[in-house]
Amino acid sequence: MTDLNHTHDPAARSWVASANAPGTDFPLQNLPLGVFSVGDAAPRIGIAIGHQVLDLSAVLASDLIANQNLSPQARAALQACTGQSLNAVMALGPAASQALRHTVFDWLHAQAPAAQQAALKPCLLDQDAVRMHLPAQVGDYTDFYTSIYHATNVGKLFRPDNPLLPNYRWVPIGYHGRASSLQVSGTAFHRPRGQVMPAGATQPELQASQRLDYELELGVFVGRGNAVGASITLDQALHHVFGVCLLNDWSARDVQAWEYQPLGPFLAKNFATTISAWVVTLEALAPYRVALQRPPEDADRPDLPYLHSLENRQHGAYDIRLQVGLRSAAMRQAGLDVHWVCHTSYRHAYWTIAQLVAHHTVNGCNLQPGDLLGTGTLSGPTPQEAGALLELTQGGKLPLTLPSGEARTFLQDGDEVVMRAYCEAPGRVRLGLGECVAQVLPAR
């Protein structure tokens, strides 16, 4: 969808020093958007640059704008950033968000005029001094199932003789989640309760889940929507996507095992979903587009025409590196760092972002700005790339050992799950999505 341009120049540097630090998630080439507040003030929109936040409301109130010859798209995007969520700027479509990103790139570039730098410096805040909020008002949340490795691994646990259902290679499987329980990174949540069927019992019990799990996912924010009854074609799908974040789809596996037939997940999934605070645009991710990489036996398998294009096959995937780490209460007390248990990549997904959008709307379903699509658990082909404890421990049979000496099959109270994501490639600047972090509190 997006050709490379001057905002992807790996040699570009910012006059914001922290944006040039090795390993930063937010170099000049990234510029993700988010919603923050300071103290008791109302939430407002900002852009991450290094370890700072560019307050767009402060920029609009400064003398800088009056002296700028902005394009209509950039000016409209800036005006849309005066609210308390990203929905308005998402609704403008990619031309506006790209114009905004290009404008801010030029403002923050090391070669920007001294007067511009002086005007913008008061608009920068330290990230440690702000509180992050959900980036958008999410009207609807759909969770997909795009990793064939995860689907197969989980299928083996529940259906050893038939792990992968016959529709998987044809249909981007998904279910409708619960938008009201979405939480921004850093928000703790209580262990859920639900019906479970204990081994050997003849009737279920209501109890706190004992098999609480995480799921490593990406979240995809919809930009421009579509009218009811009007589907979005595959070649136009990415024009309706604003950007991506990290997503942790917390799951109560014991509740899920009892309730999932015949209609799929319900209480096992809808109690909490955590997302990272910053939304990275597809334009920023353009240098990391790669070919769709399906298992060898499926490399030449055709998709139905509405889900197939040569462009999608050659450039539809993104090489976003993904990590999951655990830190128990005992580890925190001992000063131990996060213990990383999974390293994988989004490039292993069976279905691309464009295919998810095209399939979601092929029946005439209308997407709206700010709607969120989860990719489903992003496991890779090796055991070390499993994106959930259910897979890593083979349903609880193979406990993990933490640096504190503790064993884990599923999450305990006080455990903290940390997810990170980044992109890097030869000749490109590394950029990241920030962290997706939450701690498990005891059941109420």
Catalytic residue positions, numbered? 150
**What is the separation of C-alpha 266 from the centre of its chain, rounded to a whole number of angstroms?**
21
378: closest CA among 326, 428, 329, 318? 318
Q: Which helix (H) or strand (E) holds 241?
A: strand 241-249
94-108 vs 72-80: helix crossing angle, rounded to 10: 90
Side-chain-side CA neighbours of 209 within 13 Å: the count stands at 28
Task: Using DSSP, state whether 11 is helix, strand or coil.
Answer: coil
- Is-contact 122 25, C-beta < 8 A? no
Q: Which helix (H) or strand (E) holds 58?
A: helix 56-61
Quick one: residue 25, left, alpha or beta (phi over 0 = left, psi -120 to 50 = alpha)? Answer: alpha
- Is-contact 25 133, C-beta < 8 A? no
> Going by DSSP bridges, is the β-strand pair 407-408/416-423 parallel, antiparallel, or unpaired?
unpaired
